Amino acid sequence: MDKMKVTYEAMLALAAEMILDEAVLKYRTDQIYRAIDNALAAGDEDTFYRLTKQLNEIHH
């Protein structure tokens, strides 16, 4: 029975880690999109290209 408990706890920890990773990715993606919008509004082409590159890197 203890082996099942350890396995269950390990799976639960993995699921929690996956949820946390997804939340961090969503938060970072939202930040980059907002910064891209700001760069577009300001006409800042260099920042726009840098941020779109970052966005592509985190999604690949």
Question: Is 4 part of any domain?
Answer: no
CB 58 within 8 A of CB 28: yes
48 pLDDT above the threshold of 70 = yes
Query: Does 12 reside within a domain?
Result: no
Query: In terms of Cα–Cα distance, which of 40, 32, 41 is closest to 59?
Result: 32
Is 10 among the domain residues? Answer: no
Structural domain contains residue 43? yes
Prediction pTM value = 0.80
pLDDT digits (tens, 9 = 90+) for 22-34: 999 999 999 999 9
Residue range of the domain that includes 48: 24-60
* pLDDT at res. 2: 85
What's the number of domains the chain is made of? 1
- At 26, the amino acid letter reads K
Determine, yes or no, domain membership for 51. Answer: yes
Kindly tell me if the per-residue pLDDT of 1 is higher than 80.
no
Residue 5's pLDDT band (cuts 50, 70, 90): confident
What's the rounded Cα separation, in Å, for the pair 40 and 15? 37
Flag whether 36 is in a domain. Answer: yes
